[in-house]
Amino acid sequence: MERKPGYHTITYRFRLYCDHREWLEYTKEIYNQVLEFYYQVLEKEPELAKQTSRQKLLRQLELLTIGARGQKKESIEYPFPYGKVPLYFRRAAVSDAIRLYRSRTARLEATAKPGGHRAAPIFYKGMYKEFTSTSVLLKLWNGEKWIWESCGLDSCGRKWPDTGAMMSPVLKLEGKRAMLHVPIREEIADVRPVRERLPETEAICAAAFPGNDCMAVLVILGKDGGLRESHFIRGGSQFAHEKKKLLNRIRKNQESMGGRKRQVSEKENSYLKRKIRNLSEHYAHQVSRQIVEFCEEQKVTILVVPGYRQPINLNEMGYLLATSYDWIGRRIIQYLRYKAFGKGIIVTSVSTKNIAKNCHICGEPVKRFNKENKPACNYYGGKNYICPNGHKGNAYFNTAMNVGLRFLQEIET
């Protein structure tokens, strides 16, 4: 079956540095004022929104508010009140107004309160130039006029892609930080679903995600279920060490929350918890990228992961001796899906029922253990396993094998 080309869009987040932060605020404010103005026009002219072509609707709104060339201002039905706003800046705000209005009417939000419709400014072509990985020129409103302002960019270590088409950047103001989100559209050679790939697929990759030093276990299986390759991705101990240092600082702050120190401690703890979340995201991105690279090396285009449905309530499962910061398997899978898709690899999932409890060779229940412990059915932290038929080995490898074998069984039915 022929391959189906497609594309996907990835957003690169840049830290934006501007000498006049208030100009970014002014630009965002006037953008939302223009958006609100056109939103109100659409509310007064609901028949216009039924126009299926966004381009035609945009043109009709411009005729109602700007008028045709040579038309007198007195004859314009809804005069545009914000002076000479750059054409593409105004059209970006109009497009957002159309999107918000159609979204509201589609959801039948009859009780929605009027006003308060806001969006992040989009810089269409003509509102930015000289874009590089370290700087950009943005057209900003300084409160009196539109000017070109040179701004610095920091990709936070993320490499700019060699291929792909850059789309319109979006300005995001997050507290004291200013960010520029830049969507990149990349072509994909094959976007066929799993069923269409199977006839020509010779091998698949299956993954398991332990919560210790081994952050992911990968196995390459042939269609007959035979093992071709295995790979362990480590780094969990380093992640746990860095996380523990931050958690210890949080605990010490909580112990000293008395008197005037309370407000300072709460602020610092909020900062430390954000660092832990960022640390988890860093390792999840790192592991997911390594998994995709392994799949590319092995030339597999189907990746099977456990289909975790509900989040684990660790407060009710104290025997796991874990916190919500410990296991990042779901986050790895979340990042893995779009990273793999961008490389032409489809991620699919199987049920998690008994994938860690049964032997992948005979299907019998296994007992988990470490070297210093005796095998037991209810010992969840054991790195090794043994079954009644004498099969034994690494428990996480066993889980990954069960994931892959279950997928192969399902596609046969």
Q: What is the pLDDT of residue 172?
A: 95
Q: Which long-range contacts (CB under 8 A, 24 or more apart) does 353-358 make?
A: 354/402, 355/208, 355/306, 355/399, 355/402, 355/403, 355/406, 356/395, 356/398, 356/399, 356/402, 358/402
Backbone region of residue 67 per phi and psi (left: phi > 0; alpha: psi in -120 to 50; beta: other values): left
Question: What Rg, from alpha-carbon coordinates, does the chain have?
Answer: 27
Q: What is the pLDDT of residue 286?
A: 95
In whole angstroms, what is the distance from residue 252 CA to residue 378 CA? 34
In whole angstroms, what is the distance from residue 59 CA to residue 90 CA? 12
Q: What pTM, to 2 d.p., does this model score?
A: 0.79
Strand, helix or coil for residue 400: helix
Class of domain 194-412: alpha beta
DSSP label of 376: B
Q: What is the pLDDT of residue 107?
A: 61
In the Cβ-directed half-sphere of 184, how many Cα atoms lie within 13 Å?
A: 15
In whole angstroms, what is the distance from residue 340 CA to residue 346 CA? 6
Q: What is the pLDDT of residue 263?
A: 60
In the Cβ-directed half-sphere of 162, how many Cα atoms lie within 13 Å?
A: 0
In whole angstroms, what is the distance from residue 67 CA to residue 63 CA? 4
Q: 352 to each of 79, 208, 257, 310, 403, how far by Cα in Å?
A: 61, 10, 43, 11, 8
**Tens-of-pLDDT digits for all 413 residues of the chain?**
678 888 889 899 999 999 999 999 999 999 999 999 999 998 888 888 777 688 888 888 988 898 887 777 778 888 888 888 999 999 999 999 988 888 877 665 544 555 467 899 999 989 999 998 899 999 999 999 999 999 999 987 778 887 889 999 999 998 888 999 999 999 988 888 888 888 888 999 999 999 788 999 999 999 999 999 999 999 999 999 999 999 888 888 877 665 555 666 777 888 898 899 999 999 999 999 999 999 999 999 999 999 987 666 655 555 444 555 567 889 999 999 999 999 999 999 999 999 999 999 999 999 988 887 777 666 667 889 999 999 999 999 999 999 999 999 998 87
